[in-house]
Amino acid sequence: MKPYIFFLILMASFHLNAQTDEETAAKQAVIDFFEGFHQKDSLRMQQVVHKDLVLQTTFTNKDGKAQLRTQDASGFIKAVVSRAESPTWTEKILSYNVQVDGTMANVWTPYEFWLDGKFLHCGVNSFQLFKDDGQWKIIYLIDTRRKKGCQE
């Protein structure tokens, strides 16, 4: 009886940890976005972003006041691909938490941002995705930025 119970528990744990195909596909869109980001490849980034992408960031300024900034998506992509070789930008994604409901997905990614190998800030990216004609597209990205309370 004990081996049977162990087998059931083992199989249940595999089921709980398994991502669905849709979760895997939504996560892959975010991975592709960051690969394009690091390779300065606008085409790769544009393949996974919706034409109406909204970009925002929230942070606390030096006076302790919460700030919310909106950035033009095309300007962001141009800045990424036209940046100089130095300093090197590295956004290290620490984990992925993916949720899907029909044609909508959320991918939550804690991260650290490094500039020329030096820690700059950390935070969380929250990606909202829309399944557009069978492909996951990023429609909204908001991130937090802070220097304290990081995992480094």
User: Does any domain span residue 14?
Assistant: no
Question: How many domains does the chain divide into?
Answer: 1
The pTM is what? 0.84
Other Cβ atoms closer than 10 A to 93:
14
Residue at 15 is within a domain: no
Mean pLDDT (the chain) is 90
Q: What is the pLDDT of residue 19?
A: 75
The answer to whether the CB of 152 falls within 8 A of the CB of 145 is no
Whether 107 is covered by a domain: the verdict is yes
Which structural domain, as residue segments, surrounds residue 26? 21-145
Q: What is the pLDDT of residues 20-74, one digit of tens each?
A: 999 999 999 999 999 999 999 999 999 999 999 999 999 999 999 999 999 999 9
| Torsion angle in degrees (nearest 10) through CA of 140, 141, 144, 145 | -150
Q: Is residue 13 in some structural domain?
A: no
Q: How far apart are CA 97 and CA 123, in angstroms?
A: 14
Q: What is the mean pLDDT of residues 120-131?
A: 98
Residue 81, pLDDT above cutoff 80: yes
pLDDT at 111 over 90: yes
| Beta-ladder partners of 56 | 70, 142
Tell me if 5 is assigned to some domain. no
Amino acid at 66: A
CA distances from 67 to 54, 126, 127 (A): 17, 17, 19
Instruction: Evaluate if residue 8 carries a pLDDT over 90.
Output: no
Instruction: With respect to residue 8, please indicate whether it lies within any of the assigned structural domains.
Output: no
Q: Answer whether residue 150 is part of any domain.
A: no
Q: What is the CATH number of the domain that holds 98?
A: 3.10.450.50
Residue 17 scores a pLDDT above 70: no
Average pLDDT over residues 97-104: 98
Residue with tokens 């006076």: 63
| Inter-residue contact 26 to 105 (CB < 8 Å) | yes
pLDDT at 41: 95
Does 59 reside within a domain?
yes
What does the pLDDT average to over 121-139? 98
DSSP one-letter string for 48-95: SEEEEEEEEEEEE-TTS-EEEEEE-HHHHHHHHHHS-SSSPEEEEE--
pLDDT reading at 148 higher than 70:
yes
Q: Is the pLDDT of residue 5 over 60?
A: no
Q: Is 129 helix (H, G, I), strand (E, B) or coil?
A: strand
pLDDT band with cut points at 50, 70 and 90 for residue 84: confident
